[in-house]
Structure 1
């Protein structure tokens, strides 16, 4: 079962990458059986915390989102996560030959590398059940750093390249990830201006 890889990413990532390399799962299966499931954690937890728990900043009153607003933003977040993982996986495959990776007939390795590297970010979604901004930011920062390390660690194994090449390859992919993040933020601003922004209520 693909979900078993989530635990392995934290206990023995090198062995897990070797197993993933040998599996050659299709991108569709990786998406349906792994990404689509784990990516739900953050949006669902965010919906529960923002619509039902609420949060405070300093000594201000409790703030919540309306249930409809929280649902809309959670669905959009889920979609953006799926698109982000696909875009990163596509970039991995697109740049593969440039960095000497072995060409695959089925573009499974790039999607798999992107999906499993994002595991810490998926699981960090549980932190949203405790809606304290500084705590959430810290958890996601640690998760992003570990995810970046997982990608660097997995590149030589999954893509079949030298470790020296993985440094430049990984740097290029982190740049792509930042572009995806900025694009997501810009897209959020555009969508909010279209009337699908957060609607706050007092707790």
Structure 2
């Protein structure tokens, strides 16, 4: 089922969101399990890339993270992704009342998770760290995620397209604030000495 939905979100997102809306309540545990699996893609890929592949800047030596440091960062990133999904899902649930919709919390969290699918998939580039590839991939993934959001909100919430546009715009704004907040928290932790441990390969 999960692979069908992943393909559908890229091939025919409108019809796929209609299908997800109908199936969510009947398969709560299965959908939430899929959320946990999808969210692990960026963390696993980044762990492998940071410890096995490494990266270099210009002509400098190759840099890798120590396995212990990379594991901690991958775990923190995984839980941060889960927390972000849940937070956005709860915000969508709260905001839905403003537009006359009353979806369940589970449906909103599942919608939040599936809408972020491009962000999980692009996480695969972490296997081979490259600044240019990561930047281009991230821009494309963010753009398609926003597209899925605008397409999916009216269908999942069962509201008119005009209201869905306003609703989706509110979600984008909150998502940007959440992203900036996570970056600031990360910078603070690094500044307090909780940054990763590096290995320089000559």
The C-alpha deviation readout for 1:37-86, integer Å capped at 9, x for no partner, is 01111111101111111101111111111111111111100000000011
Q: Shift of residue 103 of structure 1? A: 1.2
Q: What is the CA–CA distance in structure 2 between the aligned matches of 1:4 and 1:77, rounded to whole Å?
A: 26
Structure 2 residue aligned with 1:150: 148
Q: Shift of residue 194 of structure 1? A: 4.5
Q: What is the CA–CA distance in structure 2 between the aligned matches of 1:114 and 1:191, rounded to whole Å?
A: 27
Q: How many residues are matched?
A: 200
Structure 1 residue aligned with 2:62: 62
Q: Shift of residue 185 of structure 1? A: 1.1
1:80 matches 2:61: no
**Within 5 Å, which residues of 2 pair with 1:23-102?**
23-25=23-25, 28-32=29-33, 34-100=34-100, 102=101
**Within 5 Å, which residues of 2 pair with 1:184-203?**
184-203=182-201
Per the normalisation by structure 2, the TM-score is: 0.93
Q: Shift of residue 28 of structure 1? A: 4.9
Q: What is the CA–CA distance in structure 1 between the aligned matches of 2:98 and 2:77, rounded to whole Å?
A: 32
Question: Cα RMSD (Å) of the superposition?
Answer: 1.5
Answer yes or no: is the 8 Å Cα contact 1:121–1:144 preserved in 2. yes
Q: What is the CA–CA distance in structure 1 between the aligned matches of 2:120 and 2:139, rounded to whole Å?
A: 12
Answer yes or no: is the 8 Å Cα contact 2:115–2:149 preserved in 1. yes
Task: Note the residue ranges of structure 2 that are not aligned, 5 or more in a row.
Answer: none
Larger CA deviation: 177-186 vs 114-123? 177-186
Task: Note the residue ranges of structure 1 that are not aligned, 5 or more in a row.
Answer: none
Q: What is the CA–CA distance in structure 1 between the aligned matches of 2:32 and 2:179, rounded to whole Å?
A: 20
Per the normalisation by structure 1, the TM-score is: 0.92
Q: Shift of residue 27 of structure 1? A: 5.6
Q: Shift of residue 2 of structure 1? A: 3.6
Q: What is the CA–CA distance in structure 1 between the aligned matches of 2:99 and 2:146, rounded to whole Å?
A: 18
Q: What is the CA–CA distance in structure 1 between the aligned matches of 2:130 and 2:99, rounded to whole Å?
A: 41
Answer yes or no: is the 8 Å Cα contact 2:52–2:64 preserved in 1. yes
